[in-house]
């Protein structure tokens, strides 16, 4: 089935790229680089290792259970519901589906209706080629479809990717039928830059991470926290990199995506009047275009620092001491991602060890998601559980533990009548002298 999925994705690749352009104005390179290529990579990674993951694993037993052995049997959870967002509608839909397939489950996929063109292609690709009782795409308005599913049926696992607010509602509905959940949510992911960092490389990677998909990425750098002494240089380099990559007028090029909907455009556009505009700020509602924008002098009380931005707007803060960074980040706790650009290992370690976050990168942005050996997931308000690679297999698997005991020996000290001598023997075997 995994091999069949790869064959189908390759067959439908032109249609998927076209749909992503219609929904988000993604360039074909961006569509492959950030969505379709990741699907192939995940399938190949799993196929190479799946037989090993599926094998029952033997475990030694403690002395008091002699003679016996323990065995862990991987078992499919059963019926899985996967609810996916509009911002990476191919990658986030199929990566979850691939993990559930690898573990032997049956799956209902509910893609976002906001990315309507991509949802339609996924439905055609899957529903015309897989048995409905095995894998099926269910389209429709999520506000109607998802509650109808969760309130009327029991699922053995539910995976949801989206906003924290909706994640809370999903978890509440799942609790009524005791359906376990994996929630991949959002948050305000900080990007910290210290003196001594390679500023030219930092600027390139920050711009790429922030502006890919026009900032509509759950792990995009949400705001910049830069050491005061290098702030002017870094901002200048970021501005230069935006011009180099997208031109003087990004709206005229084909490398810069658009907001997915009028509603999303309006939500992001309202942030542009907050703080001080350093660069950018132009908009075109008819085209759902928002220019790459840098803000400074933003208040923590502004909505741009209360909401997850999910757009091409980058607020910039400065700091003098590393402790100030912790205080700032803690005002929006549990970010889904953390990025640190620094030439100092001790300072990098300080931020990684003292900030609670889902995952992240050092001297890079976003690309930790590209390593299938690393679990992807949030913490606290940014999510519950994780997936990717073996972690996807584990998420969608129930591990049955079985003790197999031989019959040729039965210790009398286990059974009544109980005595002090037997109790002493048990204390010795269980480690209490």
The set of catalytic residues is 184, 218
Give CA–CA dist 255/35, Å, rounded. Answer: 15
Q: Which residue has the tokens 């707007």?
A: 313
> Exposed e or buried b for every residue in 350-384, given b needs 16+ CB within 10 A?
bbeeebebbbbbebbbbebbeebeebbbbbbbbbb
Give CA–CA dist 234/20, Å, rounded. Answer: 32
Helix (H) or strand (E) holding 106: strand 106-110
> Exposed e or buried b for every residue in 24-48, given b needs 16+ CB within 10 A?
bbbbeebbbebbbebbbebbebbee
Give CA–CA dist 92/82, Å, rounded. Answer: 10
Q: Which residue has the tokens 């005229």?
A: 252
**CB-based burial label for 404 (10 Å; 0-12, 13-18, 19+):** exposed
306, two tokens:
């209360």
Helix (H) or strand (E) holding 318: strand 313-319
177, two tokens:
């039928």
Helix (H) or strand (E) holding 151: helix 142-152
Long-range contacts of 132-135 (CB under 8 A, 24+ apart): 133/106, 134/1, 134/106, 134/107, 135/1, 135/97, 135/101, 135/106, 135/107, 135/109
Q: Which residue has the tokens 């380099």?
A: 237
């Amino acid at each position: 089935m995994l091999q069949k999925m790869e064959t189908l994705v390759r067959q439908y690749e032109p249609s998927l790229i076209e749909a992503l352009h219609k929904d988000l104005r993604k360039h074909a390179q961006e569509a492959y680089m950030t969505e379709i290529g990741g699907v192939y990579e995940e399938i190949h990674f799993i196929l190479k290792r799946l037989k090993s993951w599926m094998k029952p694993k033997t475990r030694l037993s403690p002395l008091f259970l002699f003679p016996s052995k323990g065995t862990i049997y991987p078992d499919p959870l059963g019926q899985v519901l996967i609810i996916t967002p509009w911002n990476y509608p191919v990658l986030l839909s199929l990566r979850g589906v691939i993990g559930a397939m690898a573990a032997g489950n049956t799956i209902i996929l509910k893609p976002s209706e906001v990315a309507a063109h991509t949802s339609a292609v996924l439905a055609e690709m899957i529903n015309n080629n897989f048995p409905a009782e095995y894998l099926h795409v269910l389209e429709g308005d999520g506000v109607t479809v998802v509650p109808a599913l969760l309130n009327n049926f029991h699922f053995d696992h539910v995976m949801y990717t989206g906003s924290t607010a909706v994640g809370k509602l999903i978890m509440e509905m799942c609790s009524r039928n005791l359906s376990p959940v994996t929630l991949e949510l959002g948050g305000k992911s900080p990007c910290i830059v210290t003196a001594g960092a390679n500023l030219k490389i930092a600027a390139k990677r920050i711009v790429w991470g922030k502006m890919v998909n026009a900032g509509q990425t759950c792990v995009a750098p949400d705001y910049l926290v830069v050491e005061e002494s290098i702030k002017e240089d870094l901002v200048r380099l970021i501005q230069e990199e935006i011009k180099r990559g997208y031109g003087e007028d990004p709206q005229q090029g084909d490398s810069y995506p658009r907001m997915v909907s009028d509603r999303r455009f309006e939500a992001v556009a309202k942030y542009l009047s907050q703080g001080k505009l350093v660069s950018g700020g132009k908009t075109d509602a008819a085209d759902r275009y928002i220019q790459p924008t840098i803000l400074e002098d933003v208040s923590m009380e502004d909505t741009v620092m209360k909401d997850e931005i999910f757009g091409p707007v980058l607020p910039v803060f400065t700091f003098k001491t590393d402790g100030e960074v912790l205080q700032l980040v803690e005002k929006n706790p549990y970010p889904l991602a953390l990025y640190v650009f620094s030439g100092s290992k001790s300072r990098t370690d300080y931020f990684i060890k003292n900030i609670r976050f889902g995952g992240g990168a050092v001297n890079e942005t976003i690309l930790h998601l590209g390593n299938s050996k690393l679990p992807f997931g949030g913490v606290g308000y940014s999510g519950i559980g994780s997936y990717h690679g073996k972690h996807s297999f584990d998420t969608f698997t129930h591990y049955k533990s079985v003790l197999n005991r031989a019959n040729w020996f039965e210790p009398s000290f286990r059974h009544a009548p109980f005595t002090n001598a037997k109790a002493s023997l048990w204390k010795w075997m269980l480690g209490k002298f």
